A and B are shown apart, each in its own frame.
Chain A
């Protein structure tokens, strides 16, 4: 017990050092981008086969929104089904799954810097570590990209279900393996994460994290929170917390569709229960794991909350309502207490929200 506590504290100290570093970077960018265009990007996935993935830029200054932002800046679309968006070092990386590309964009101007083709790989998610971007792909590889030259440096083969979200910490990359199909189209679910040693760029070990793991979020003190989707049948979704130091896995038995984290202080967990149609938001304290219900005040309930994000500066909560995933969604802004601030129409299938 004492040993674990000690370990935790060590990790905590280390990670605090690390995070303060990251935060410093963030703050710099915030100061740089004080234009009316605002600090909030919403990634609209689009529909499969629609070539309609897009960015919306939301202004937290005047609560306005610029839709089709990427096309308006670049005269072309992002492509077909965008899955991830992350900002690193002033550049924004958009992972476009069915177009097999990673679009690198100037996060201040929205202009494309470079399009990195990943032919036939179906890239899915991106994470960063010490000047490199790591992109997980549906062909079960992780691609390493130099963020200065924007060229592919190496790739690592993994095993298990399809690669989903990933996170790099302390020289290691943790990649979730969610589900896959066999040649007859029958689906099965994985429950592991690959741990890739970034110095050798090879899988060093596999950790059992929970059934059908998808979303991965760092929550400080060397820990990540992983949303395990279950099997959509007898195993419902839940959250696993992995201590990347001790490799200990802790299960938080709360159904979850999506999570957003506020500065390692709390996580906002959203769940939609398909059997009952009930929506539930819960705040989880990231030190004590105490759960408290959270609710928003809107004139009418959201239809299908899909992407959620918490502004690390203002603590405002952004919830993207994807409607039926086939029409334009809406972006709702609430303050930390759930008081309504604004609602704007965005693109089709708004799934991720990032802040400059």
Chain B
């Protein structure tokens, strides 16, 4: 069980200019109309008050990201904890805030997990995705759910709207990928026009991998000491998902989107590499079903409303078939249910000034097969009042969030929380240039993270826990230049965050029972910088027209210091698994009619596995490089055939993101997709 509890990192902005161009200018007329009506507009990186990274569908394709965790690796300010292999859990955190401050939303609706409060990004397939955005603090959009306002940072996966009409009634994409260590990944996407008001979109994906890759096991933290060549065992994974979306537009002003999703996975858990022995008896079974709706209505020029609803049922079973306990096996079953309803209304007071009110209610239930505390209920009510003022040279937005939560254990009242937290963001354009945009931005945000059920009710001595608090301050500059064939984006953001009342597990009674306490304090000082340059048509003299070269560089500095107890050995030490330096680069050369070639390098600096920064606790930094070759073939009937070949970890670097969870060495992937 401890394993599960412990289950309880990163690098370049892959966002290429091409992607940004798409978002800014290339959206077609038909989409424009939808965009005005729909609140889910693509966040703009350049003009926002908060740092936003966008990974476009083009980027996703270029780096051949099949899972959400693959796509986020390129953002250096994100720290991804990757337990290795296809099945290894992958969680994310940003800017020194714990992973529970990060909220994943699918088409604007949050994925919640009351048990551990964090989401495994490795289980989200990127089929039919329009873009992924990662926003620190808030996005500029105030027409959103209260949960999105409540997050410390938000990763949103926005799916594509089907581009079908009466002349082109069906879109279909078939894709097959194969790779090293038994990777097989077929997928299907099907968009269907029904009538002018109705379209459906179906996607399905299956992935399996043996994951039995080789690695070198070092028997001390010094690589010159003993080592042996081993294979990862018990790492077989099978996962499948199906996603049906129905787009219904009864009038020009209304849209109803329904999403029905199911995914199931079976994973063997290889666990940490343990010297002299290998445990091969742990598995995990997951099943998730959810259905969510989004309804939007532009009532008048002044009023706009939306309703979001979701029902989620998820089951997680952890099994150890050779557990050394009284029964000889261990089986932990957790069943989570969520009912969620959110309403947002936006009123335009005058042209540049809008106010919005969002209210979200959620009921979460966790059942387990344990004897004690086998049913926990949480009732959440979030309310946000937000305003936004946007003029040519200045934009200001602000909101106040109220969080009300009550928890019951086996129908007995257990805990309640009531908190208010503010956000304010400002951006100023000091000059009014045509081809260049220069912008200064600032935001302040306060966040609370409610203790999750594991912390409160399981495996711990119950303590009176308070929510963990995070304060974020960000100041940044952004510069964009778009002139002829040259496009440049450069941003730099400095931030100071402070986490107080951090929930820390303290072992008690011979490491057998743990208690949770609000004792931690972390001060985080950091800097995120990125530059993207795109140059088109530079190779015309070689008769290669429309050639585009894009370069994206990014770098993050993060000093996340433990400030809990001046007398302790961990005081003023970098918190675990947080690199001081990380960064990366992506180069992409697009030669239409020939091929595309992409090169990707990710650097993550030294980290420490424990809170004390000793030599023994050092986890070596690494450089991971990959190369992708893509060939696009347009067939005579307008169908598109794509062939991609990829070499990952080209130099076969032996590295670990999490200590004792070795990552894959050099490996290959090849895929063919047929779009018609």
Contacts and interface: CB of A to CB of B under 8 A. Distances in A.
Interface stretch (B22-30, B273-281, B284-292): B273-281
Given A51-B274, A80-B274, A181-B326, A232 B219 contact: no
Interface stretch (B145-153, B378-386, B508-516): B508-516
Nearest to B272: A49
Nearest to A98: B274
Interface string A317-356: 0000001111110000000000000000001110000000
Interface in B572-611: 609-611
A183 B331 contact: yes
Given A49-B660, A50-B609, A79 B274 contact: yes
Nearest to A184: B369
B420 to A, nearest CB: 33
Contacts of B272: 49, 51, 80
Contact of A183 (B226, B274, B327, B512): B327
Most buried by A among B220, B371, B507, B614: B220
B511 to A, nearest CB: 6
B655 to A, nearest CB: 16
A253 B219 CA distance: 45
Interface stretch (A69-77, A86-94, A143-151): A69-77
A264 interface: no
Interface in B307-357: 322-327, 329-333
B16 interface: no
A354 to B, nearest CB: 19
Contacts of A205: none
Contacts of A274: 461, 508-509, 515
A75 B226 contact: yes
A279 to B, nearest CB: 13
B669 interface: no
B569 interface: yes
Contacts of A51: 272-275, 660
B332 A184 contact: yes
Chain A contact residues (Cβ within 8 angstroms of B): what range? Answer: 35 or more
A301 to B, nearest CB: 10
A117 B515 CA distance: 34
B274 A186 contact: no
A79 B275 contact: yes
Interface residues of B, number: 51
A283 interface: no
A185 B1 contact: yes
Contacts of A348: 610
Interface string A103-144: 000000000000101011110000000000000001110000
Given A99-B274, A183-B331, A76 B612 contact: no
A76 B226 contact: yes
Interface in B1-29: 1-2, 6
A47 interface: yes
A62 interface: no
Interface string A46-87: 011111100000000000000010010011111110000000
B660 A50 contact: yes
A326 B520 CA distance: 14
A185 B568 contact: no
Contact of A327 (B6, B508, B569): B569
A77 B509 contact: no
Interface string B501-523: 00000111111110100000000
B372 interface: yes
Given A232-B461, A323-B569, A327-B568, A214 B276 contact: no
A48 B3 CA distance: 9
B659 interface: yes
Most buried by A among B271, B325, B461, B510: B325
Interface in B558-578: 567-570
A191 interface: no
A29 B271 CA distance: 42
B612 A71 contact: no
A221 interface: no
Interface in B90-130: none
A26 interface: no
Given A138-B324, A183-B325, A76 B506 contact: no
Nearest to B509: A232
A321 B140 CA distance: 51
Nearest to B459: A185
Contact of B276 (A100, A121, A161): A100
A180 B610 contact: no
A51 B509 CA distance: 22
Q: Is the interface of A mostly helix, strand, loop or mixed?
A: loop
A50 B660 CA distance: 7
Contact of A185 (B273, B370, B509): B370
Interface string B194-220: 000000000000000000000000011
A139 B324 contact: yes
A237 to B, nearest CB: 9
B225 interface: yes
A278 interface: no
Contacts of A117: 276-277
A179 B272 CA distance: 25
B616 interface: yes
A101 B612 contact: no
B6 to A, nearest CB: 7
Nearest to A327: B612
Contacts of A181: 323, 325-326, 330
Nearest to B224: A75
B58 to A, nearest CB: 40
Interface string A192-229: 00000000000000000000001000000000000001
Contacts of B506: 324
A234 interface: no
Interface in A167-181: 179-181
A45 B329 CA distance: 26
Interface in A240-262: 257
Interface string B247-289: 0000000000000000000000001111111000000000000
Given A80-B275, A183-B331, A323 B568 contact: yes
Given A181-B326, A185-B332, A325-B507, A50 B659 contact: yes
B277 A71 contact: no
B569 A328 contact: yes
A85 B513 CA distance: 23
Contacts of A99: 274-277
Given A75-B219, A115-B276, A181-B330, A325 B511 contact: yes
A119 B322 CA distance: 12
B6 A49 contact: yes
5 contacts: A47-B610, A48-B2, A51-B660, A115-B276, A184-B330
Given A71-B220, A120-B277, A122-B324, 19 more contacts: A49-B660, A51-B273, A75-B225, A76-B220, A76-B275, A99-B274, A100-B276, A120-B324, A138-B324, A180-B326, A181-B326, A183-B329, A186-B372, A232-B513, A274-B515, A324-B506, A324-B568, A327-B610, A328-B612
A-B pairs with the 10 shortest C-beta distances? A76-B219, A183-B327, A186-B371, A79-B275, A327-B612, A49-B272, A76-B226, A138-B324, A75-B225, A100-B277
Interface of B: 1-2, 6, 219-220, 225-226, 271-277, 322-327, 329-333, 369-372, 461, 506-513, 515, 567-570, 609-612, 614, 616, 659-660
Interface of A: 45, 47-52, 68, 71, 74-80, 96, 98-101, 115, 117, 119-122, 138-140, 161-162, 179-186, 188, 214, 229, 232, 257, 274, 300, 323-328, 347-349
